[in-house]
Structure 1
Amino acid sequence: MMTARYLHTVGTPRASRAFTLLELVVVIALIGTLISVAAYKLLPYIDEAERVAVLRVEGQLRSTLMMEAAERIVRGQSASISALEGTNPVKFLLEPPKNYVGERLQREIEQSPARRWYFEEDGQRLVYRLGEPYSLSARDEAMENPAFQVRVAFADTNGNGVFEAQREELHGVRLQRVAGAQWLSGTTEEAH
């Protein structure tokens, strides 16, 4: 008894039953092209995910600073809010970001690894050190590391630059962007 497979292969030339070397090369070339196009299109999303993660931490820090200021006001310690100026905002988080490497002096900054947060003690600012972009189109752009400072906003009625709780109105505490606004906004040099 002959099976359907046996009937199908009887009388057919061997070349028509298997892939030829040319067909195999064409298939490999097509797969390689598809992978490279997919990678080219997907790599910018990795860079975007990094940017969104930094923005998320920025939002957490803003909320934490507001809660710290509100807590001081509720305890009747509104005069101590001015002490928040220039502090490391990460110390108010319950848990620092996993990629936070701590406080650094100016001479230690160059040794800080890429894609990590650190607090620059000399400049009193929190910095996110950018790494090499994954996207090929973004590699030619020089981007500034995003940096933030804790600022106390108040009506400085006497012009001395120091918050005096009894005489001046407190507007709040904010995490101010002091560098890297272009990267944080997602714009590039080409967009300008």
Structure 2
Amino acid sequence: MNLSFPAVCLLSVAFLAAAPSAPRPSQPPDRHRNIAGWQIDDVADAEDYDPMRRAIRLRHEGPEWVVSYEFVEGAVPVEPSRNAHVTIGGCNEQYGNSERPTSPAARVAAARTRLLALFAAARQSCPDAHAAEAEVLAGFAQAFAAADAWDRERIAALAPARRAAEMAEDAASVAAASNAETTDATDSGMSASENMSAETNDAAPPQ
């Protein structure tokens, strides 16, 4: 499901108002690990429209380069965000999308391919910077596997809240459609009444 920002705002309001007793997990404690030189952080990243949103970030850096990859997902049923960022010297390249391949192997391959493309673009812009592909992405597969496991846990934990949000969205859509029908019927009734009044006035004999 891919919703516009106004739709997300309306959905979040409907979720909070229409499903106060829905199963909404609390924000878990933040987690931090360092694997193969990559810092991994699982932290709250709440927004007004989605207080359950979290971000899992991987970061690897050297003297002249920084590489990061981020998973962002929450309880409101919108497309997840996957953001990659590479800085070499003074050159920055970044890319964000909602790709989430099914298998773990496909997910790490897609993330690595994205980072390699950004690395190549940054190296082209700053050819004098000291950064080697093997050094920049060393240990990435191992670190990504750990972050991906955290992401799987989070998706499972948020599933009840996402289902409740989808039900709230359906209820809001039904209510909006019902209100529109009521408004149309009221407008039609008023128009008919006005027409009858006009016809009566036209038919009345002059005084």
TM-score over 0.5 (shorter chain): no
Q: Which has more radius of gyration? A: 1
Higher strand share: 2
TM-score by length of 2: 0.29
